[in-house]
């Protein structure tokens, strides 16, 4: 199977991947678990519990995990002062946990000398998430850690596709309008066409999602092979749509997925939230897709798969290349992480 960049590679066209999927443990378990979407919900529950016992919970009987990001944002912005204060208290407590998590990462060898961190994931999409991240930066700097915390500029769903273009050497993209990209998550699988816009910016600063399809596999009891077949159907549909619009696709597919990806394209650890067993040695997603889509246009298909936090972080490369050492965190079902060193042209 043709490979233009190694799966899970340490050296990419524009960056060195110093680490990703870093799992730091302490006496309470994985440090990153304290800064996930579930961790925020648990913190909000802790604040609600004593109020609920008094019959004074301003959020009533609605379970915390049933509150959408939009509902929490509305409460914070325009809700009853007590309800807004409750959400604000959870934001402050979560920011303190995220600060501690970041400080722990910065102590690890692969994260030392980090100058900036870009934060994405579904939690970043909400105003509650933005405030928690902003408060985290204030806490870090007031505690003597001079580090820049940036929000991923693109929508998190699109960032996970746009970053796939940065997995590819520039020569593989020349003369083409777009590439196929896949973002596999714990609840969703998204496939799309990334429009490269190389004439506007050869460094992919103007890359954007042209078309995309979303499948919420978390809402269905789906097995692994059925999920792969559904993904292949999505990719085939996108190829047909691009052909009808006369968009010339490069014969490459970039994939971001949870976990540790080895050089053969297998997921070694971290795929426990995906439907079925994705970590067995007998399963190789890039090989499955290459067998189903052997050619794109006139050329043989090449596939590159990497960790989803790496891919989402790469979407910010046009603005983060000013830093020599920078990281990416994605706050969602878990806390994804990646640390990069920018490669400078000689």
Length of the chain: 346
- CA atoms of 164 and 144, how far apart (whole Å): 35
CA angle 22, 23, 29 (to 5 degrees): 160
Residue 79: per-residue pLDDT: 86
- Both tokens of 191, joined, read 């496939």
Residue 51: per-residue pLDDT: 94
Domains of the chain plus CATH, in order, are 161-308 (3.30.420.40)
- CA atoms of 166 and 304, how far apart (whole Å): 11
Residue 233: per-residue pLDDT: 97
* Inter-residue contact 90 to 300 (CB < 8 Å): no
User: For residue 344, what are the contacts with CB-CB under 8 A and spacing of at least 6?
Assistant: none
In the block, which residue shows the tokens 């016992």? Answer: 53
Give residue 186's Cα distance to chain centre.
11
- CA atoms of 77 and 70, how far apart (whole Å): 10
Residue 1: per-residue pLDDT: 57
Residue 118: per-residue pLDDT: 97
- CA atoms of 211 and 191, how far apart (whole Å): 9
- CA atoms of 290 and 4, how far apart (whole Å): 13
- CA atoms of 116 and 341, how far apart (whole Å): 11
Burial of 250 (0-12, 13-18, 19+ CB in 10 A): buried
* Inter-residue contact 153 to 191 (CB < 8 Å): no
* Inter-residue contact 68 to 87 (CB < 8 Å): no
Question: pLDDT 10s digit of each residue in the chain, 346 long?
Answer: 556 889 999 999 999 999 999 988 887 778 888 999 999 999 999 999 999 999 999 999 999 999 999 999 999 998 899 999 999 999 999 999 999 999 999 999 999 999 999 999 988 889 999 999 999 999 999 999 999 999 999 988 899 999 999 999 999 999 999 999 999 988 889 999 999 999 999 999 999 999 999 998 877 778 899 999 999 999 999 999 999 999 999 999 999 999 999 999 999 988 888 888 898 888 999 999 999 999 999 999 999 999 999 999 999 999 999 999 999 999 988 899 999 999 987 7
Residue 28: per-residue pLDDT: 79
């Amino acid at each position: 199977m043709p490979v233009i960049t190694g799966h899970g590679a340490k050296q990419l066209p524009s960056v060195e991947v110093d680490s990703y999927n870093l799992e730091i443990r302490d006496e309470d378990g994985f440090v990153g678990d304290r800064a996930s979407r579930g961790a925020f919900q648990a913190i909000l529950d802790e604040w609600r519990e004593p109020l609920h016992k008094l019959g004074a919970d301003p959020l009533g009987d609605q379970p915390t995990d049933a509150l959408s990001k939009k509902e929490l944002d509305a409460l914070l912005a325009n809700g009853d002062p007590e309800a807004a204060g409750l959400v604000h208290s959870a934001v402050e407590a979560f920011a303190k946990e995220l600060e501690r998590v970041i400080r722990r990462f910065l102590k690890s060898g692969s994260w030392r000398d980090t100058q900036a961190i870009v934060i994405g994931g579904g939690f970043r999409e909400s105003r509650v998430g933005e405030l928690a991240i902003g408060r985290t930066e204030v806490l870090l700097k007031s505690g003597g850690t001079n580090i820049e915390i940036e929000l991923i500029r693109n929508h998190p769903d699109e960032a996970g596709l746009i970053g796939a273009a940065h997995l590819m050497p520039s020569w593989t993209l020349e003369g083409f309008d777009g590439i196929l990209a896949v973002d596999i998550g714990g609840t969703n699988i998204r496939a799309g066409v990334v429009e490269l816009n190389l004439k506007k910016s050869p460094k992919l600063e103007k890359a954007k999602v042209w078309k995309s399809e979303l499948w919420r596999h978390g809402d269905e009891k789906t097995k692994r092979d059925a999920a792969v077949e559904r993904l292949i159907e999505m990719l085939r549909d996108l190829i047909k749509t691009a052909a009808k619009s006369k968009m010339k696709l490069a014969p490459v597919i970039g994939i971001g997925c949870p976990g540790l990806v080895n050089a053969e394209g297998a997921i070694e650890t971290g795929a426990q939230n995906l439907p079925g067993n994705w970590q067995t040695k007998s399963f190789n997603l890039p090989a499955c897709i290459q067998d189903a889509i052997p050619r794109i246009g006139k050329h043989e298909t090449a596939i590159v798969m990497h960790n989803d936090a790496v891919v989402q972080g790469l979407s910010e490369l046009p603005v983060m290349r000013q830093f020599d050492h920078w990281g990416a965190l994605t706050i969602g079902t878990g806390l994804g992480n990646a640390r990069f060193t920018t490669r400078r042209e000689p």
